[in-house]
């Protein structure tokens, strides 16, 4: 059989989960990571990253809106997807998706963004006319009260929601890791470390994405980049990456040392079908290189211009590495037979429902949402002196 | 039409055989079937399997199994002193049309029929997000086709590779233990068509079922016991190399 090596159980030859299911944990990871970055400022008072606070929240929301789409497109019967809400199966990790998603989207992200922007929304409502005025009125839910007492209350509730949001972000992505980690039939996935690795890799990808977006948006707007802010983000990215990489290595070393019945099969896969995506893209280019680059910026004094270039390169490599990690988990976990006697191949279609073009469209969609959100809800405080652009330091 | 005595003597037994065959294909109604009185499983007597593929063809015909997918299949193992940990296994088209002739060399060849193990603690049932797949009170793992989302989580969770997504219906399918037949007092299509009796439907709740004596007197194993799925496909004389 073409693409098959050794023996596969006959129903295993075709992969069930495609590139769309690779996108799903990648996107939710960006959401969780971006939110955690935002919460650093709000809850842990890391003041230097304040300029990214609103952008991080809007980024999280943009990606969150797209997160369920790959799953929906993957379903054989998407018209039945709401059954997960109406008749959830309590023993299923996947059944909890809808509730975790709704909780995170509505109770955490939307509420926090709304409370943070309410003053701006009301002000923009007063300034705008026509359709835009109506949109802002709807966004304000008709509540135009921005008295000091009301704003103080908004701030208090917003803080509480951020505090609740941190464990919720962990839950969102930890749950995605658990979906894979709890499948005992698949030794590539089955690991109690999987949710933890997913959480840390989520934070790494989300922080890298916001760092890149912040620099890109500032560049597009021809504004100076607050290098202290980016320095701080890069520092957090570096530390998070070290924890993430340590966890992944712990998992790897444990597998190699334990060398259970699946080891020979998985080892062969890593050295053959997953060599490029795992060893080259994920570990060498997507993990070790950015850690090294970021480490250099922590150890040596480097000019701001070069630092920015290093951060951009590291950020891009990080995102590629985390995407490769998701690919290796999802696709890699289906390339070998549960008999441990054979291997199959993933043939990605181009224009089918789960093909490459759809995946690219879904990857672009959050940026379209983000553009709209940034237009509607300016993240750099154009309407609020409190959020006025900081003068660039060291740039 | 003139029918001579000689022709009559030939026709009557032939007609009787034909009628018997018709009756065999017409399941009796069993309105009194009580699920709680049964706990179904399957005995697979591996030394008896000759790899003819009758079971695979019968299953396909009985259950409208789509091309390229299998509710049951037969594997042929070739184990030598050198490859005990990685035996050579083949299952061309699920063994539907039999197997190529074995090479006359060292080692042993044997066939292993595979199917859903109808696990009592089935991982596929555990992960289904809407409960479309479930264990019936008589111990058969079934799928409600009108409810299945087609997410394929159950396919990933099955350690035995028994499930697939039907490419036309877009929902999960697998062996139903011919539930439409066994509830009417018939046996499964694969059991009925096995020429050597290598497959036997068993009812663990029926004290008169020969399975009880068989289990006491034979070396019987389930596939992947380390998975602790409560598998109910019992394999007689299962070789240790079988995955």
Name the residue with tokens 């570096």. A238
Q: What was the pLDDT predicted at A393? A: 42
Whether the predicted pLDDT of A386 surpasses 70: no
Predicted confidence (pLDDT) per residue in B176-227, tens digit: 999 999 999 999 999 999 999 999 999 999 999 999 999 999 999 999 999 9
Chain A: nearest CA to B26, how far in angstroms?
A: 31
Q: What was the pLDDT predicted at B31? A: 76
Residue B108 near residue B167 (C-beta atoms within 8 A): no
Whether the predicted pLDDT of B19 surpasses 80: no
- The model's confidence at residue A390, banded by pLDDT at 50, 70 and 90, is very low
Residue of B152, B159, B164 to mutate when probing chain A, most A C-beta within 10 A: B152
Q: Which of A185, A333, A341 sits opposite B86 (nearest CB)?
A: A341
Tell whether B171 lies on the interface with A, counting CB pairs under 8 A: yes
Residue A79: what are its φ and ψ, rounded to 5°? -65, -15
Q: What was the pLDDT predicted at B1? A: 57
Crossing angle of helices A289-299 and A227-258, in 10° steps, is 130
Question: Domains in chain B, start-ordered, CATH in brackets?
Answer: 35-236 (3.30.70.20)
Residue A194 near residue A181 (C-beta atoms within 8 A): yes
Chain B: nearest CA to A323, how far in angstroms?
A: 21
- Which residues in chain B have their CB less than 8 angstroms from residue A91's CB? 125-127
Q: Which of A16, A95, A184 sits opposite B129 (nearest CB)?
A: A95
Interface of B with A in 78-107 (CB under 8 A): 85-91, 93-94
For the CA atoms of B8, B14, B18, B23, what is the dihedral angle to 10 degrees? 80
Predicted confidence (pLDDT) per residue in A360-380, tens digit: 999 999 999 999 999 999 998
User: Are residues B157 and A183, on separate chains, in Cβ contact within 8 Å?
Assistant: yes
Longest dimension (CA), chain A: 71
Q: What was the pLDDT predicted at B18? A: 65
Whether the predicted pLDDT of A57 surpasses 50: yes
Chain A: nearest CA to B150, how far in angstroms?
A: 4
- Which residues in chain A have their CB less than 8 angstroms from residue B162's CB? 9, 11
Whether the predicted pLDDT of B24 surpasses 60: no
Tell whether B123 lies on the interface with A, counting CB pairs under 8 A: yes
The region of weakest confidence among A20-29, A144-153, A361-370, A386-395 is A386-395
Q: What was the pLDDT predicted at B216? A: 95
Query: Number of A:B CB contacts under 8 A?
Result: 123
- Which residues in chain B have their CB less than 8 angstroms from residue A341's CB? 86-87, 89, 243
Predicted confidence (pLDDT) per residue in A206-249, tens digit: 999 999 999 999 999 999 999 999 999 999 999 999 999 999 99
Q: Whole-angstrom Cα distance, residue B185 to residue B202?
A: 12
Q: What was the pLDDT predicted at A164? A: 93
Name the residue with tokens 């990685």. B86
Q: Where are the domains of chain A?
A: 18-80+92-255+350-380
User: Are residues A76 and B157, on separate chains, in Cβ contact within 8 Å?
Assistant: no
User: Are residues B171 and A9, on separate chains, in Cβ contact within 8 Å?
Assistant: no
Q: Which are the contacts of A148, defined by CB distance < 8 A and separation ≥ 6? A: none
Crossing angle of helices A111-127 and A148-181, in 10° steps, is 140
Chain mean pLDDT for chain A: 93
Predicted confidence (pLDDT) per residue in A270-310, tens digit: 999 999 999 999 999 999 999 999 999 999 999 999 999 99
Tell whether B161 lies on the interface with A, counting CB pairs under 8 A: yes
- The model's confidence at residue B3, banded by pLDDT at 50, 70 and 90, is low
- Across residues B97-113, what is the average pLDDT? 91
Q: Which residue of A lies nearest to B75 if distances are taken between CA atoms?
A: A9
Residue of B72, B149, B165, B175 to mutate when probing chain A, most A C-beta within 10 A: B149
Give the rounded distance of the alpha carbon of A80 from its chain centre.
26
Pick the more confident residue, A122 or A106.
Answer: A122
Q: Which of A159, A160, A118 is nearest to A140 (CA)?
A: A118
- The model's confidence at residue A387, banded by pLDDT at 50, 70 and 90, is very low
ipTM of the complex: 0.91
Q: What was the pLDDT predicted at B27? A: 46
CA-to-CA dists, residue A354 to A18, B161, B163, angstroms: 7, 22, 20
- Across residues B92-104, what is the average pLDDT? 93
Tell me the percentage of chain A whose pLDDT exceeds 90: 89
- Which residues in chain A have their CB less than 8 angstroms from residue B119's CB? none
Tell me the percentage of chain A whose pLDDT exceeds 70: 96
Q: Whole-angstrom Cα distance, residue B37 to residue A68?
A: 44
Q: Whole-angstrom Cα distance, residue A198 to residue B203?
A: 45
Tell whether A184 lies on the interface with B, counting CB pairs under 8 A: yes
């Amino acid at each position: 059989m073409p693409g098959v090596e050794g023996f596969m159980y006959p129903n295993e030859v075709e992969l069930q989960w495609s590139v769309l299911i690779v996108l799903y944990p990648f996107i939710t990871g960006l959401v969780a990571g971006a939110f955690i970055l935002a919460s650093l400022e709000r809850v842990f008072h890391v003041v230097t990253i304040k300029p990214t606070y609103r952008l991080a929240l809007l980024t999280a929301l943009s990606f969150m809106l797209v997160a369920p789409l790959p799953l929906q497109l993957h379903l054989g019967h998407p018209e039945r997807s709401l059954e997960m809400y109406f008749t959830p199966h309590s023993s299923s990790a996947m059944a909890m998706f809808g509730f975790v998603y709704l909780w995170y989207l509505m109770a955490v992200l939307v509420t926090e963004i709304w409370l943070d922007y309410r003053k701006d929304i009301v002000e923009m409502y007063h300034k705008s006319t026509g359709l835009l005025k109506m949109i802002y009125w709807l966004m304000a839910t008709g509540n135009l009260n921005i008295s000091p007492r009301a704003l103080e209350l908004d701030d208090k509730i917003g803080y509480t929601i951020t505090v609740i949001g941190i464990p919720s972000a962990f839950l969102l992505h930890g749950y995605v890791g658990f979906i894979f980690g709890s499948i005992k039939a698949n030794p590539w996935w089955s690991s109690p470390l999987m949710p933890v690795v997913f959480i840390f890799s989520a934070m790494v990808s989300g922080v890298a994405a916001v760092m890149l977006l912040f620099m890109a948006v500032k560049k597009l707007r021809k504004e100076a980049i607050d290098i202290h802010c980016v320095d701080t983000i890069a520092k957090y990215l570096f530390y998070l990456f070290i924890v993430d990489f340590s966890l992944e290595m712990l998992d790897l070393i444990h597998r190699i040392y334990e060398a259970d019945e699946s080891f020979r099969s998985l080892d062969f896969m890593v050295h053959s079908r997953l060599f490029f995506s795992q060893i080259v893209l994920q570990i060498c280019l997507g993990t070790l290189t950015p850690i090294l680059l970021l480490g250099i910026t922590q150890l040596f004094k480097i000019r701001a211009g070069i630092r920015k270039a290093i951060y951009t390169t590291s950020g891009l490599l990080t995102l590629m590495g985390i995407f490769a990690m998701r690919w290796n988990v999802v696709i890699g976990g289906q390339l070998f037979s549960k008999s441990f006697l054979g291997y199959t191949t993933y043939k990605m279609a181009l224009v089918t429902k789960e093909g490459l073009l759809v995946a690219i469209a879904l990857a672009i969609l959050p940026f379209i949402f983000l553009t709209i959100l940034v237009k509607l809800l300016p993240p750099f405080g154009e309407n609020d002196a409190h959020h006025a652009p900081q003068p660039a330091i060291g740039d | 039409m003139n029918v001579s005595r000689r022709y009559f003597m030939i026709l009557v037994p032939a007609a009787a055989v034909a009628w018997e065959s018709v009756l065999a294909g017409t399941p009796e109604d069993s309105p009194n079937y009580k699920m709680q009185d049964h706990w179904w499983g399957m005995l697979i007597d591996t030394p008896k399997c000759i790899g003819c593929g009758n079971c695979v063809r019968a299953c396909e015909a009985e259950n409208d199994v789509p091309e390229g997918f299998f509710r049951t299949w037969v594997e042929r193992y070739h184990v030598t002193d050198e490859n005990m940990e990685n035996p050579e296994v083949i299952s061309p088209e699920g063994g539907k049309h039999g197997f190529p002739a074995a090479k006359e060399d060292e080692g042993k060849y044997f066939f292993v029929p595979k199917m859903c193990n109808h696990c009592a603690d089935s991982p596929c049932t555990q992960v289904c997000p809407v409960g479309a797949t479930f264990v019936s009170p008589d111990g058969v793992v079934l799928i409600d086709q009108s409810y299945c989302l087609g997410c394929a989580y159950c396919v990933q969770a099955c350690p035995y590779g028994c499930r697939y997504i039907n490419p036309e219906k877009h929902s999960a399918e697998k062996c139903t233990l011919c539930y439409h037949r066994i509830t009417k007092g018939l046996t499964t299509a694969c059991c009925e068509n096995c020429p050597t009796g290598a497959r036997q439907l068993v009812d663990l709740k029926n004290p008169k079922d020969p399975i009880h004596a068989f289990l006491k007197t034979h070396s019987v194993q389930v596939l992947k016991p380390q998975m602790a799925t409560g598998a109910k496909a019992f394999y007689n004389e299962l070789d240790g190399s079988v995955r």
